[in-house]
Amino acid sequence: MAEILQKIEEIEAEMARTQKNKATSGHLGLLKAKLAKLRRELITPSGTGSSKPGEGFEVSKSGDARVGLIGFPSVGKSTLLTKLTGTRSEAADYEFTTLTCIPGTIHYRGAKIQLLDLPGIIEGAKDGKGRGRQVIAVARSCNLILITLDAAKPAFHKRLIEHELEGFGIRLNKQPANIVFRRKDRGGIAFSTAVQATHLDEEIVTSICKEYRIHSADVILREDATADDLIDVIEGNRVYVPCLYVVNKIDAISMEELELYDRLPHFVPICAKLDWNLDGLLAEIWERLALVRVYTKPKGQIPDFNEPIILKGHFESQHTVEAFCNRLHKGLIKDFKHAVVWGTSCRFCPQKVGKDHVLEDEDVIQIVKRV
């Protein structure tokens, strides 16, 4: 572990010394690939130690989605968990009050959202300091991350936490790069691009691939991607998670400072202790999770508006009638004939639809099976 950390420090120091220009872009790409490989060794250590790769806190998933609270110690995560879920999490004026993962459940708009109060992380958490690796391992399983910040603390704390999460393979508020990467047996590195590439060329791509001992592959850029994007595609273990920056304790700052926070994207200013803007935070959580409520209607009966079926995901394919059937039972789609839908997804109500129809929030559906 110490040897890997030393190598990481040496590479980061060399990258800091190297000027960024066209002549050094290939060398920088090679250094980034080496750094990513060392980071992977930290995430999945080899050997017969007591810790398993990616080991985290033993908290079973429950509810329709999982949200994690991440931040430095004493920023108000425990107070926020108590206010939103009613679950008591010890809160005090000293740091590291929470030493393990404490789960709670938010009941909002018919959905059950699991909220995790994770112990405070420190700088260097991705390298194994404190319990940072356990905390970040749990964060990889979340559908949404709430980075909790203290409004009275320096603003660069946001960048420090992002750096720790990125070092563990978590990409915040990003989508996977549109890069086609196919390994092959022979033919060398075939690089092509469908757009004007300003960050990558054949020399950089070849040097990165050789660092991974890949000598033959097709690499096709369908967007202006960077060397980091290509490394993420080759690694294949990155997690893309939406994120909200929750600025707590806004009662300690001026109106001018609050207006600055309000202009920033993905920021939600609150005061958990005084219950300020908690409703706004819940609305933002709902929007970022992209949850869709679907009500069932048995034939000849009124719809059941008490227990909606929750579909989650940011892609239309995750909100289709087929996804709804699989949510109820994996074998239901085999006997599926058609569905009758009422709601905003229809051109007229009711509408007979197939399994590829995309459902919208608060639609009512009736499944008709083959006889």
How would residue 132 be classed by pLDDT, with cut points 50, 70 and 90?
low
pTM for the model? 0.84
Determine the pLDDT at residue 10: 87
Q: Quick: pLDDT tens for 208-234.
A: 999 999 999 999 999 999 999 999 999
238: buried, middle or exposed (CB in 10 Å: 19+, 13-18, 0-12)?
Answer: buried
Closest CA relative to residue 162, chosen from 51, 87, 244: 244
**Among 192, 225, 223, which residue's Cα sits nearest to residue 32?**
225
Per-residue pLDDT reduced to its tens digit, 140-165 = 899 999 999 999 888 889 999 998 88
Residues with Cβ within 8 Å of 235's Cβ and at least 6 positions away in sequence, in order, are 36, 40, 169
Instruction: Return mean pLDDT, the chain.
Output: 87
* Burial classification of residue 48, based on how many CB atoms lie within 10 Å of its CB (0-12 exposed, 13-18 middle, 19 or more buried): exposed
Say which residues have a Cβ less than 8 Å from residue 45's Cβ, sequence separation at least 6. Answer: 1, 51, 53
Q: How far is CA 185 from CA 173, 188, 190, in A?
A: 35, 9, 12
Q: How many residues does the chain have?
A: 371
pLDDT for the residue 52: 47
pLDDT at 102 (0 to 100)? 87
Q: What sign results for the dihedral spanned by CA atoms 347, 352, 353, 358?
A: positive
Checking if the pLDDT of 53 tops 50, the result is no
Query: How confident is residue 98, by pLDDT bands cut at 50, 70 and 90?
Result: low
Return the pLDDT at 50: 43
pLDDT, average across residues 334-343: 95
- HEC-encoded secondary structure of 184-230: CCCCCEEEEECCCCCCCCHHHHHHHHHHCCCCCEEEEECCCCCHHHH
pLDDT at 118 exceeding the cut of 80 = yes
Long-range pairs for 9-13 at CB < 8 Å and ≥24 separation?
11/35, 11/38
Chain segment 16-43, per-residue pLDDT in tens: 888 888 778 888 888 888 888 887 776 6
Report the DSSP beta bridge partners of residue 9: none
Torsion over CA: 15, 18, 20, 25 (sign): negative
Contact partners, residue 13, CB within 8 Å, separation at least 6 = none
How far apart are alpha carbons 365 and 368 in whole angstroms? Answer: 10
Dihedral through CA 280, CA 284, CA 290, CA 291, nearest 10?
A: -30
Smallest CA-to-CA distance from 321 within 351, 288, 301 is with 351
In whole angstroms, what is the distance from residue 271 CA to residue 247 CA? 8
